[in-house]
């Protein structure tokens, strides 16, 4: 009997010892972060991540990637351990931030050690240290380190266990990740958040009061928009639970993704629920080879309401009859059904430099034509101090591709008080032409076509949309990098835009550049892309920069200077 008791006691001691050792050896940084943390930054396997970034840099400028990989020890300066002494750089580096009102935030760094003693020896003397197996947490602030210590002892909840699966997947997969515990921050800074809107409004009042008298009527409506936008942002912050951002490196691209998670049942979630994403196929029917494409699938009622409010403010000072007709047309517009929008922008080599076109799926299209004509009639002439805008509508002024097109010409004039140097007048002429900004509108049963830049621009748009051919290879490759279902997608060939702007500037002598080389420069088409997708309780975005885009920009930069 005594022998069995001794065996039982030994077994119990062995089990406890093994459990404690396993806990120490198995401690993970993610387990050490409490849900009271405000912000977490993780550098995933810095040695591998910098190697991937070096591959991207080498593809742009061969040989420069070595400078990236050799910068690895410099990360130690950022985490209080110069040289990363004793740190396993194949494991993740973490920074945990505890924000506090009216005081500097407290920071704790967490690393995995190759040698714990070496890590401790590499730290400044004012750092407090806590060790759990190979895990080393250290900070200048004992209070903050205490929160990490308590979490490792099993107290409270781990922050990463409280976030939704999609946010965690984004955080885990990226090379550099940031997680903001917005819910905790709104609790910690509730007083400051309550004061934010009155302070914003007071600041806007000061800006408006400081405007020159001649420009105030022209700009004041925009500041009213900023007030409404500020209030919406603050409400969105209160509804938000978490925000995550991740940066991923590869030899072919740099990708930045983020995700905003909001509280189920909140007003922001109610708004999100109305924003059903789509495939944005309309973008692919537009003319090919343009530097900018834009696609939108969303509940456009709120966007239209905002734009109409801004326009309504600009009508102050016009006749009561004008304003009444405008309000009537806006009321009718709210009954239309908008589905999807696809647009492109281009830079012309001569004035008008700003060109573009787009297609909007809207029903009934003929009703939109009638409403648009009513709206434009109310906008005939708007005068404010220093500024006059004249809008001229010519219904069915052209017949293009078998369709009637309305022509709308908007001419802006500035007097010396608003444009003392004449720069605004000059830029307006370059961008839109001496005769003003000319738009052409074609209304069809379930869609509307709109262009800037003249008759040929509309002809090209009609031809492309009616043909419904597949987009070119560059557009197709860019589109594949994003989700099938999106609310917003913007593709822009930044190098092509720079080339177009540089050509205009060089023609005027504004910049020293070899014009022959610039015009003959062959750039491989590639698009930087930005997307937004709305889910019932989340919004996520993605920005992707392909290596070809950076290569093209470097080719242009190399030409700056006098001809060789």
Q: Are 113 and 136 in contact (CB under 8 A)?
A: yes
Q: What is the mean pLDDT of residues 464-493?
A: 94
Quote the pLDDT of residue 335.
Answer: 80
Q: What was the pLDDT predicted at 236? A: 93
Higher pLDDT, 391 or 536: 536
Checking if the pLDDT of 372 tops 60, the result is: yes
The residue among 160 and 22 whose pLDDT is bigger is 160
E strands, 267-335, in order: 292-296
Which among 214, 221, 262, 223 is positioned nearest to 240, based on CA atoms? 262
Cα first-last separation, the chain = 99
pLDDT interval class at 3 (50, 70, 90): very low
84 Ramachandran zone, left/alpha/beta (phi>0; psi -120 to 50): left
At residue 41, the pLDDT reads 97
Hey, what are 242's tokens?
């978490």
Classify each residue of 181-196 as buried b or exposed e, where b means 16 or more C-beta atoms within 10 Å of its C-beta: bbbbbbebbeeeeeeb
Residue percentage of the chain with pLDDT more than 90: 58
Q: What is the pLDDT of residues 85-102, one digit of tens each?
A: 999 999 999 999 999 998
pLDDT at 8: 43
- Checking if the pLDDT of 166 tops 60, the result is yes
Taking each helix axis as running N to C, give the angle between helix 320-333 and helix 365-378, from 0 to 180 degrees, rounded to the nearest 10: 160
pTM for this predicted structure? 0.85
Strands 381-384 and 488-492: unpaired
What is the DSSP pairing of strand 488-492 with strand 447-452? Answer: unpaired
Q: Is the pLDDT of residue 147 over 90?
A: yes
- Rounded average pLDDT over 48-71: 94
Determine the pLDDT at residue 11: 36
Return the higher-pLDDT residue of 16 and 40: 40
User: Residue 409 forms beta bridges with which residues?
Assistant: 392, 438
- Mean pLDDT for the stretch of residues 300-310: 69
Dihedrals phi, psi of 481, to nearest 5 degrees: -80, -5
Bridge partners for 261 per DSSP:
242, 538
Question: Among 41-45, 187-191, 510-514, where is mean pLDDT lowest?
Answer: 510-514
pLDDT reported for residue 370: 86
CB 85 within 8 A of CB 122: yes
pLDDT at 326: 75
pLDDT at residue 371, as a whole number: 85
The answer on pLDDT for 45 being more than 90 is yes
- Mean pLDDT throughout 337-365? 87
pLDDT of residue 184 exceeding 90: yes
| Token pair 């017949």: residue | 399
Average pLDDT value for residue range 47-74: 93
> Residue 241 has what pLDDT?
96
pLDDT at residue 51 is higher than 90: yes
Q: How many CA atoms lie within 13 A of 180 on its CB side?
A: 14
Q: Which of 110, 116, 106, 63 is nearest to 91 (CA)?
A: 110
Does residue 155 sit in helix, strand or coil?
A: coil
Which tens digits make up the pLDDT trace of 107-132?
999 999 999 999 999 999 999 999 99
The pLDDT of residue 467 is above 60: yes
Q: What is the mean pLDDT of the chain?
A: 86
Task: State residue 315's pLDDT score.
Answer: 62
What integer pLDDT is reported at residue 427 of this predicted model? 73
**Nearest partner of 515 among 499, 530, 531, 527, judged by Cα:** 499
pLDDT of 24 strictly over 60: no
- Domain spans of the chain, in order of start: 26-162, 181-273, 274-298+312-557
Does residue 409 carry a pLDDT above 50? yes
User: Which residues neighbour 17 within 8 Å (Cβ) at sequence distance 6 or greater?
Assistant: none
Q: How confident is the model at residue 520 (pLDDT cuts 50, 70, 90)?
A: confident
Burial of 32 (0-12, 13-18, 19+ CB in 10 A): buried
Question: Which of 106-110, 168-172, 215-219, 426-430 has the least mean pLDDT?
Answer: 215-219
Strand partners, 445: none
Query: Which of 333, 548, 358 minimizes the C-alpha distance to 464?
Result: 358
Q: For residue 12, is pLDDT > 50?
A: no
Q: Is residue 333 within a helix (H) or strand (E), and if so which, with residue range? A: helix 320-333
Where is mean pLDDT largest: 234-243, 293-302, 413-422? 234-243
Top pLDDT among 504 and 57 is at 57
Q: How far apart are CA 270 and CA 473, in angstroms?
A: 38
DSSP string, 388-454: EEEEEEEEEEEEETTEEEEEEEEEEEE-TTT-TTSHHHHHHHHHH-TT-EEEEEEE-SSEEEEEES-
Q: Span 270-289, mean pLDDT?
A: 94
User: Angle, to 10 degrees, between the axis of helix 547-557 and the axis of helix 46-60?
Assistant: 50
Beta strands in 12-92 (DSSP E): 39-43
Q: Distance from CA of residue 495 to its chain's centroid?
A: 19
What is the total residue count of the chain? 564
């Amino acid at each position: 009997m005594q022998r069995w008791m001794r065996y039982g006691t030994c077994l119990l001691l062995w089990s406890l010892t093994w459990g404690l050792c396993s806990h120490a050896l198995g401690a993970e940084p993610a387990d050490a972060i409490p849900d009271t943390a405000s912000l977490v930054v993780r550098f995933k396997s810095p040695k591998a991540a910098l190697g991937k970034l070096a591959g991207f840099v080498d593809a742009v400028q061969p040989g420069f990637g070595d400078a990236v990989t050799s910068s690895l020890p410099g990360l130690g300066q950022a985490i209080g351990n110069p040289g990363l002494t004793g740190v396993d750089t194949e494991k993740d580096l973490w920074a945990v931030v505890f924000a506090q009102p009216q005081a500097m935030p407290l920071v704790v760094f967490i690393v995995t050690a190759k040698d714990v003693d070496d890590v401790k020896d590499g730290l400044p003397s004012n750092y407090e240290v806590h060790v759990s197996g190979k895990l080393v947490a250290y900070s200048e602030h004992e209070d903050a380190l205490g929160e990490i210590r308590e979490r490792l002892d099993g107290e409270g909840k781990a922050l990463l266990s409280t976030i939704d699966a999609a946010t965690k997947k984004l955080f885990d997969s990226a090379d550099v990740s940031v997680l903001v515990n917005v819910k905790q921050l709104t609790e910690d800074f509730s007083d400051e958040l309550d004061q934010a809107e009155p302070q914003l409004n007071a600041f806007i009042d000061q800006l408006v009061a400081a405007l020159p008298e001649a420009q105030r009527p022209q700009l004041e409506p925009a500041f009213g928009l900023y007030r409404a936008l500020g209030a919406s942002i603050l409400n969105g912050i209160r509804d938000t639970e978490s925000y995550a951002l991740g940066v991923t490196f590869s030899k072919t691209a740099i990708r930045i993704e983020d995700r905003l998670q909001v509280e189920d049942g909140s007003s922001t979630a109610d708004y999100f629920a109305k924003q059903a994403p789509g495939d944005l196929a309309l973008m692919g029917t537009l003319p090919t080879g343009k530097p900018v494409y834009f696609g939108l699938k969303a509940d456009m009622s709120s966007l239209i309401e905002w734009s109409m409010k801004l326009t309504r403010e600009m009508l102050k000072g016009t006749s009561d009859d004008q304003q009444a007709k405008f309000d009537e047309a806006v009321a009718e517009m709210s009954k239309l059904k908008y589905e999807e929008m696809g647009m492109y922008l281009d830079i012309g080599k001569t004035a008008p430099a700003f060109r573009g076109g787009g297609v909007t799926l809207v029903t009934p299209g003929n009703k939109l034509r009638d409403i648009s004509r009513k709206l434009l009639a109310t906008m005939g002439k708007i005068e404010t101090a220093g500024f006059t805008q004249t809008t001229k509508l010519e219904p069915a002024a052209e017949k293009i591709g078998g369709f009637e097109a309305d022509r709308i010409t908007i001419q802006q004039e500035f007097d010396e008080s608003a444009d003392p140097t004449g720069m605004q007048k000059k830029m307006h002429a370059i961008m839109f032409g001496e005769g003003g900004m000319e738009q052409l509108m074609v209304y069809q049963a379930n869609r509307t076509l709109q262009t800037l830049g003249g008759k040929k621009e509309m002809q090209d748009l009609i031809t492309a949309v009616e043909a419904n051919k597949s987009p070119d290879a560059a557009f197709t490759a860019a589109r594949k990098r994003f989700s099938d279902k999106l609310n917003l997608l913007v593709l822009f060939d930044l190098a092509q835009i720079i080339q177009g702007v540089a050509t205009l500037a060089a023609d005027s002598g504004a910049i020293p550049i070899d014009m022959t080389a610039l015009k003959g420069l062959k750039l491989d088409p590639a698009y930087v892309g930005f997307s937004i997708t709305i889910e019932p309780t989340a919004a996520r975005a993605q920005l992707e920069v392909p290596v070809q885009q950076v290569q093209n920009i470097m080719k242009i930069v190399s030409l700056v200077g006098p001809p060789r």
